[in-house]
Amino acid sequence: MQAPIRLELPTPFGTTVNSWLFTEPEITLIDCGMPLPHELAVLEGELAKHGIKLEEVTRIILTHAHIDHFGPALEISKRNPDVVFECGPVAYDWISNFTEYTKLRAEFVKTEIRKSGCPEAVNEYEARSFEGILATTFPVPEARLHKLDPAQPVQLGGADWEMLYLPGHCQHQYGFYQAESGAFLSADALLQIVPVSLIDFEIGSWTQRVRALPLWLETIKPIYDLPITTVYPGHGPEMMDHRKVLDRQFRRIEKRKEQCYDLIAQGHETPYKVAEAMYANSRVGMNAMPISISQVYGYIDMLELEGRVRKEDGEESYLLTVINSQ
């Protein structure tokens, strides 16, 4: 089997994003980066290092419908009339309806951020972020977008890979596992740091928030048990010891969950106040506060499921109280 080749592409988020290249049996990319003006030039430069032109790529598999993973797909389709895009069923639904679903999610996130008790400036910043997404990212042409069947193996690098549904970071994410070699294309389900469990709604509901962090923990448990040799993540270099990475992340989550409980017990009664106190030493700016609130919602969800914290819908925000003391 040919191992995937890492193509490192820029993002404005302080990190890079990976596109994984296979040259056999056909030239295939896993994800294709951000909708940045210079992104295609960088992608072309990365491909050129391996003697490949963008026009020679015949297939791009999209792991999920976030703009740093499929952002320039429309521009690529204009440049390359032969390329097709493939993705799992839930991602297909999202990418096909990207503009409509992103508008719905923007309104949903706005409500959840407001209910966290945060200043309006945080919500305004997040609203501008969604406006930027809608102004730069467009659906893949319907004729070019194909839905993968999760029951069928995906051919990559001369081998069969199993497609795995990996919700948690988002609801529309898939990865790919190659059993004989132990290779795992993890998208953003398994990174060097805990993937952000973003504010999102339940599939089929535009009003019910998914418990994203507990869902990620449920998703990742069977991944932990797989005999994985190499992880090829959505961001960062390859990883060789996924259990060591996950054990560290589990400890971190447990520590943060208990810190969240203590802060609520001390009287930090809204998710925003918990986030502000929890990340005080990190000097969290306006741009990072929505992510911090997303993470805190995850810890609150865990504590609610354990029966230790109650989240009630107050007039202006959610109100948090401790149910029992340790």
Q: Tens-of-pLDDT digits for all 326 residues of the chain?
A: 899 999 999 999 889 999 999 998 999 999 999 999 899 999 999 999 999 999 999 999 999 999 999 999 999 999 999 999 999 999 999 999 999 999 999 999 999 999 999 999 888 989 999 999 999 988 888 899 999 999 999 999 999 999 999 999 999 999 999 999 999 999 999 999 998 999 999 988 888 999 999 999 999 999 999 999 999 999 999 999 999 999 999 999 999 999 999 999 999 999 999 999 998 766 555 568 889 999 999 999 999 999 999 999 988 899 999 997 54
How many other CB atoms sit within 10 Å of the CB of residue 277? Answer: 17
Q: Is 174 helix (H, G, I), strand (E, B) or coil?
A: strand
Asked whether the beta carbons of 262 and 276 are under 8 A apart, the reply is no
| In the block, residue with structure tokens 């925000």 | 317
176 CB-near residues (< 8 Å, 6+ apart):
30, 61, 154, 156, 161, 162, 163, 164, 184, 185
CATH class of residue range 5-97+139-240: alpha beta
Asked whether the beta carbons of 70 and 17 are under 8 A apart, the reply is no
- Would you kindly state where each structural domain of the chain is located, as residue ranges? 5-97+139-240
Query: d(Cα 152, Cα 127) in Å, to the nearest integer?
Result: 39
Which pTM value belongs to this model? Answer: 0.95
User: Tokens representing 205?
Assistant: 């509901």
Distances (CA, A) of 52 to 27, 44, 56, 58, 144: 9, 8, 7, 11, 21
